[in-house]
Chains A and B, each alone.
Chain A
Amino acid sequence: MSAQQERIVANAVVPLDFTYNYRVGQYVERYIKGLGQKKIMGVKCPGDSSVVVPPRKYCGRCNAIMDEWVEVGPEGTVENFTVGHVNLNKGAVEKADTEYVVALIKLDGASSLLPGKVQGVSPTDVEVGMRVKAVFKDPAEDSLEDLSHFEPAG
């Protein structure tokens, strides 16, 4: 049979459902605990004094371990954002019911930008430079979702 004749006549669709169970490590664990207390915690690099959120062990620029904890936010500034018109559902593109904002936010006191949703404002009214504040889940659920989203501040 030539390659042409061997065209697939049947597809096998095989959904693979596996559960992975990740250790987040002590840095993210402490970060999550902070969110439960409505605090956003970052770490400071001893090399260049940058404050990184979410926290992690190594600063790659300085080859240094970061172990000085600093509370940042809860307010910050939108440094960059995009408006999503679709959702990705396991890689499949689906039109979103409503447009939504994904932003990179510079929390007060932080050097790095934190990705977050901006809600409570029309996407057309979101601007770079606008002030936002973190909204926390209450009661806390001991997960990263305890930092639920950001809203316009003030």
Chain B
Amino acid sequence: MQKTNPATPRVGLFVTCLVDLFRPTVGFAAISLIERAGCTVEVPAAQTCCGQPAYNSGDRKDSRAIAENTIRAFEEFDYVVAPSGSCAGMLKKHYPGLFAGDAKWEERARAFSAKVHELVSFLADEMGMTAVEAELAANATYHDSCSGLRELGIRAQPRQLLSTVRGLKLNELPEADSCCGFGGTFCVKYSEISNAIVEKKARNIEATGADLLLAGDLGCLMNMAGKLKRDGSKVETRHVAEVLAGMTDTPPIGGRG
């Protein structure tokens, strides 16, 4: 274990289950960006899931057990960073409540949650990053994932950093702050309604004329990419971290064409 050098913050990367299982590129992009911001990054092996599926399904017992596992794995770090607004929101805003009434754990959870940040917000708000060294010739649009936007106030930061990517044109997405219809288990439990919502999102995306869709949450991205591809759209989808880190060699989410 490295000693904490006060000048070099130690970041524990909470990679998130979706990134771990579906798109490791995002995890490596996050590491690259965090290191460039002047931190060291470690990836605790004991992490699994933030527990949101159990939490939002009303299973507090399992949520709490998962939370205990997460807190134990990460509380030693200076910062806990996740490339996802919804996972970071879960860790930051909802973990303490899981331990209400348990004085010892509540304090531990609070201390942990205070260190949690979503990736782009961490780079911009905590590390003061104002520009990236990246290049991508593309006509892009950006979707605001709900948790990131409403729980963590993420809106200006990704737009600001994306504006410094050479060659990247950013068009505002109509109703950018409108839900994409993912909602975790909602998209399969109420699939018809989810489809109706993501269809509206897909129409808005196409209306921008963009060829690249970006967002900060893989759940939203997989949902929107899956819809666009089913509709035969040529729009490509990536996580914002991939573009900011200049790691766009991997095929886009859901492939090309």
Q: Do A and B come from one complex?
A: no
Chain A interface (Cβ < 8 Å from any Cβ of B): none
